[in-house]
Chain A
Amino acid sequence: EMQLVESGGGLVQPGGSLTLSCAASGFTFSNYWMTWLRQAPGKGLEWVADIKGDGSQRHYGDSVKGRFTISRDNARDSLYLQLDSLRDDDTAFYYCARAGGRATYFDAWGRGTLVTVSS
């Protein structure tokens, strides 16, 4: 059964850093573009970043460009998101999701991990 499990969320001060992880299982991880999306509590969905199956291409949303870094380790079937220079408006549930390709729809999602940025 296909599964995505995020971890690493928590409370961090403005300007701080955090690393999120997503463990994948049940499919050939290296064959797929993978994505991070986020959802502020009670708000809508926002695409954050994506990365090609072999890691050779990465793209970021305008609101996180230059502050967040997406990466992957195909040997460990894991996806990561490094969050730096965090701001209050980065507070959200962060989901990893499997994509059908570059900038496409998302057919599998994890349950999410909550990042709270607050002093």
Chain B
Amino acid sequence: AIRMTQSPSSISASTGDRISITCRASQGIDSYVAWYQQKPGQAPKLLVYSASILQSGVPSRFSGSESGTEFTLTISRLQSEDSATYYCQQYYSYPTFGQGTRLEIK
């Protein structure tokens, strides 16, 4: 199974800040990475797929990038509603997820 190592496990930031979350794949996976946002009591919501393509309706403050086997989700101009847990997922082989990053907005 392809392992996705996600960091940090939690992050605290203020509104207006810019933060980045990283996932490192245990092997090459091309650009087969998606990012999700999950708020308490809700289902995950797709933000980015193919490492950098923004899902329709997602604010442009969200962006995805890649460098080799490292994938990054960046959120600019943080807003209070961005408080959530974020997960990466690879789909190069059967899907596996990172452990999640809890984002707290101070």
Contact = CB atoms under 8 A, between A and B. Distances in A.
B49 A44 contact: no
Interface of A: 44-47, 59, 61-62, 95, 100, 103-112
Given A105-B34, A105-B49, A105-B91, A44 B97 contact: yes
A111 B44 CA distance: 9
Contacts of B34: 105-106
Secondary structure class of chain B's binding surface, majority of residues:
loop
Interface string B64-106: 0000000000000000000000010101011111111000000
Contacts of B95: 47, 103-104
A107 B45 CA distance: 7
Contacts of A109: 43-45
A104 B42 contact: no
A50 B9 CA distance: 29
B54 interface: no
Question: Which 9 interchain pairs have the tightest Cβ spacing?
Answer: A105-B34, A109-B43, A47-B95, A45-B97, A105-B49, A104-B91, A107-B46, A44-B99, A44-B100
B7 interface: no
